[in-house]
Amino acid sequence: MEYMSYDRILYFEHKLSVKLITVEARIILMCVDGPKSAGELYGNCACSYATFYNTLKRMTDAALVSFEVSTEDKRVKVYSIGPNAWDALRDLQESLIRTQFFAPQAAKAG
């Protein structure tokens, strides 16, 4: 079974006009493909500036994300997935591998 990609989730959010995942999940999923600047993350979180930075601070404190100062611009912090989030993602992946999802069978007209 193909997994639901971040882009696919965004597509459904747009199509349904609802938020399907939290700001925390967005940050982690965006960092799966590699480190991202705070500006890149904020631009895709669809939340207020204060909410974003408070969430990012909590996630950094909980080791869900970590950051380094950019080598190109010392004013920019570049965030990546922290050790606690990697552990959780690994557990989730193992759980998904063991679980099979089946679409409900349509009732047959008799």
What pLDDT digit, counting tens, does each position of 47-62 carry? 999 999 999 999 999 9
Note the pLDDT of residue 21: 86
Gap between the Cα atoms of 20 and 5, Å rounded:
13
Strands (E), 1-110: 36-37, 65-69, 77-81
* Residue 84, SS3 per DSSP: helix
The CATH code of domain 6-97 reads 1.10.10.10
C-alpha closest to that of 30 among 11, 54, 5, 13: 5
Radius of gyration for the alpha carbons in the chain, expressed in angstroms and rounded:
17
Note the pLDDT of residue 74: 92
Residues (pLDDT < 70) of the chain are 1-4, 96-110
Note the pLDDT of residue 100: 55
Q: Is the pTM of this model over 0.75?
A: no
C-alpha closest to that of 67 among 109, 33, 38: 38
Note the pLDDT of residue 99: 66
Helices (H) and strands (E) in the chain, counts: 5, 3
Note the pLDDT of residue 73: 92
